[in-house]
Structure 1
């Protein structure tokens, strides 16, 4: 605890110390007198005096420091005052009005130019004025030109809203045609600097430039209107003429004296010649009613016939300012051309109808001839096979009686010729049956081994004669097909593989793919070039022109293709010259998941959709399956547009400019959109089209998606009957 208060003046502190020293000395003397220890008191007195002297020196130094601080404070005050005077002088030299408000929106200082134009507010512009009061005084100033329809209070509210923005700049109009630009800037401590700049000269220059541009633009618009082939008339919101070109007077046969600024639309319409006949549902009164609404009901389009030769198209459109514009175009040449074109179309349609009837008659004749040919081939084949069989028996009996090698060679050639003729007749009979719409199949479940193992023994003999190795991998799968026709298909493929393979091997195996079994016949033959892969399925077509008749008749693959198409078994081919070939036949596996209806077993009903002239879009990324379905559909008389993905589909339809009658879409289309997504794209572009998703996916999700889209779901392998029913339903909607 200190005996002296440091806050007291130095004089007061010295006075207290002297009193304390005197009291201490008196006490020491008193104690010394009592105890008799004078010397000890003397020492204490000397020590006390020394301490008092040290304290006195400290107080003197403190007093010196205080005097120095007071001097520095005085110098700082002088500097601050000088800075304030300099700041005041600086803002006074600014040509704009300047005011500084602190973070609490209280006026700190301003120059003499601030609000100088608002003379009635100058007396209140003193430090301490709030920003809100400043705005209120300005809003009530007689010098301020308030915007039309806005009072002083509303102006003040709008001004305070702007003040709350971080950056403010706007123009204020004063009476007498003067303008101030007001801008606000935020200081580092949150205060506000307000600048007022007189921009009267700039505004006046801008107005003069704007008027000059308006005059120039008006001349340009006038020149443009006069160069138009259309007649144009512009009316303001009061229905008065404000602009036009010469062409409209020529088209409407209106004298130039009628076309004047301020002319009424109703007066011009009344003066229009009675020769102008408003065609269709339009009328003069309807035209007048539209003009009365200033085009607010929408654009107007009508035709007017002038006399017997000229046709005019009138178009009216409202404008944002409440006026409207009318254009008149001479469309006489277009209407005459359209009339001539309509006459030509009628004549062409008549000729097309005549030609169509002729073609229908020719087609019916051709179909009857084809049916007669099929019946003849079937009847002739049976009649020819019997005497040929007898001839072979006679030759066989002669072979035992002929001993000469030369005669036996001749007999062998005769037998070979009969075998070839028999094969040819059998092939023709098969093709005749396959082309008949009344062909029935015995579709049932059968084990693949029942077909493959007997063929291994039969074809193995032919392969052994040529030194080839035939390998047939057994399969435990059970499929649904016609046993005899499936056997004939595989027999032809395996026989062809042996016939055209000179060395190596022939391999036959089965791959399972979901609900299908793909039977593959591989060979190491010469291979088939890509450009020839379609030609090999034609009748009597063999790529090896040097081959003899005994090497094949060129009907085997034609029979295979037709049989696969009728059975609904997709046929595929992979081949590369020099490496060999692979023919693939896809057959449905027997049995269905629970809840899936089984394939009806029995004869397949003949299908013909030629009368419907359907155009079907087929999108399938598997080339082999796409070809098989195309062949089947074309046999039914359906025109097929093929594509392998969504992008190619949309591009192809754009190029062909065709809307298909139905669509068959694979669900899995590679990396692009799936079938359901493609269905949405087609619907968005062409509207509702009968569509079926063809997929091996039997999940409930796909079934629900198809139901939500309103499209059919056909499972792979495709049921021939279900496909036919879908196309028949599409034909009824086409």
Structure 2
């Protein structure tokens, strides 16, 4: 009967304990799970905030760029009056701006939505000429002033974020749009470092940024027909297939958080899906975090609760068992008495230590503080002295009778006040402030300088049971070193400011001198070309009248000398234009073979006359460059090779250099020492071993180096003494399809050989020598010269009955009028518009373009008579 009751009570205890344990495990499961879920949500929210901040910062870095470009006068002029001739310059401007900002693409779009210029104009997938009027960012900018849009590029096929800004005229009307495209792929690559899944969706809940490829272009909700029509109209995602996302919501945790299980794309377990709204076009940033840690925390808490209840049950069983083991009570009592005796011994030992400490404190000087380098003083809660060390006595030179255990610290303060150590001000106020601070029990750290220059670092800390311990450290050497370092830093800073100011002034002076030099060279060359132009015209008229062969030979030598002088002056003018940045470029794709073939035939004749052989390797290469400027570079290479090669052969060819091409000119001359490789590209630098009587002016390679820098084509040089030299220029490959587009054909010249007999010509120029030379040349061609004089004489002689057949008009005239301004006034008096040829010594591309638009002729001084005759004949035939 007794055994049955014992078993029944044990079973009942186990049953009750098991039920309570199950409830405890369930409660622990939910409590721990909820706590872990809240912690994970907070962590995920912090990560979302960081990702959102990084995305916003990347976009904000470029946000002001379209606004700045929209104020650019060149871009505003391009969209207000589109001129195809200026598009290359705009492309280069946007390309340079894009290389600095490191965006994806910069595009200038007209009011009609057609791209006028773009930074990717060199690429096969260039934006130039494309219609973007259907894009939202274009419509938004034209209507609202700015726009934002993310989508796949219809030209490049690359996704990006587009920021646009309207270009407005003075009245506020939109003239065009500046667009910057930002690639956000770098963010996706940064997200790969996390195990979580990061997504960004647009207003249609379409995922367009994702840390995993299979999540991109997934729809988070079914798209309505209106959504699909809008996406199809603006071609936001081009031809990308938008696949729905399949998931099961396990638990809603709030408006922006949920527990979910993903079916497509599949994930192994449930995830915590948390979302935050972004300010860009109703975007939302999503983070999918593995929820396995929440389940693990719940399981651990449940197991811990179950283990605790099992331990409690076993403890109860153990207590019951101890009740049955009365035989062990006596042994337990003896063990307890032993423990009490040990504690009593420990208490007696602690009491002896307290007594010894009290005896040491009576003397005030604490041996435990003597090893410290700082002066230390300890006071109790009543602000009385307890202990100090000898260093404290040395620092303040206290008399021995003043330092006693139990003396108020206020007495020491008064003693220092009498010696002036508490600083200026009322003594009682200073003492009271110090006492109040000690009573407050707040730690402090400060520095104090004594009259003898000693600097003390005073550090005070309260004691747990009341009272205060204060240390005084002598930091005089450190303070002096800090003052010296500050003085040295101030002096260095002043010297740096002075040097920086001097360098800035020197740089400004150098730039100013360079501008003066460039303007002086251009003006000087212009003035020198005026008499040279007259001399060549006089010589051309004279040669037509010479009959003796010797006289013709002398005239030919004179013409050659003038031509050489002409080349030198033109080279100087080219250098001035390159340094001033006014030389215009026309970069396009073209086939290289026609240019090399022309150069080979032209210089082959010159080389053959010198007894040299010029060989050329045919090529099928297509390059991207300015054909005219590239021709100048190669002409200088070939002329130098012929000039400095006494015998042998010269080779012209092309070789591949990775993704670029190198055009090389090899000669078998004496070679160039390595120490001169840099100097030969300077102005007027010539070698002394050229062919006799054929040394150049030393300007050709200087022009080559500057043209190379302007076009971005590196100039190279290799040479071996006694073996020869190789000059090369490196340039990018071009697009064969673009190179095959034919250039606009030049106007035909059907009347180049026609006679000018009886044609009345006016010559308007301020230089009398030029007028007389032109008159002599025109009369030799049997023309009638109605006037050869200045602008005032032309205005005085012009009337409705005496209009000439053709006008030769100098651009630079004395007074307020120039050639293009004088011509309309003459036409008003003539009541007709005869053909006109503008003549100038300045290489101004704007004037050349103006003449082309108006159908005027354009010639550069010094004028070559054959070119003048051909152009006059062409204009007269065209008029007829």
TM-score, reference length from structure 1:
0.41
Larger Rg: 1
TM-score, reference length from structure 2:
0.35
Task: Considering Cα pairs closer than 8 Å and 6+ residues apart, tell me whether 1 or 2 has the greater RCO.
Answer: 2
